Amino acid sequence: MEKTLTLELKFKTSEGKNKNLTLRNPAAELTASAIKPVMETIVGLDVFDIEGVNPYSIADSARYVERIITDIL
How far is 43 from 24, CA to CA, in rounded Å?
20
pLDDT band, residue 17 (cuts 50/70/90): very high
**pLDDT of 4 strictly over 90:** yes
The residue-averaged pLDDT of 43-65 equals 91
pTM over 0.75: yes
When computed from its CA atoms, the radius of gyration of the chain, rounded to whole angstroms, is 15
Amino acid letter at 4? T
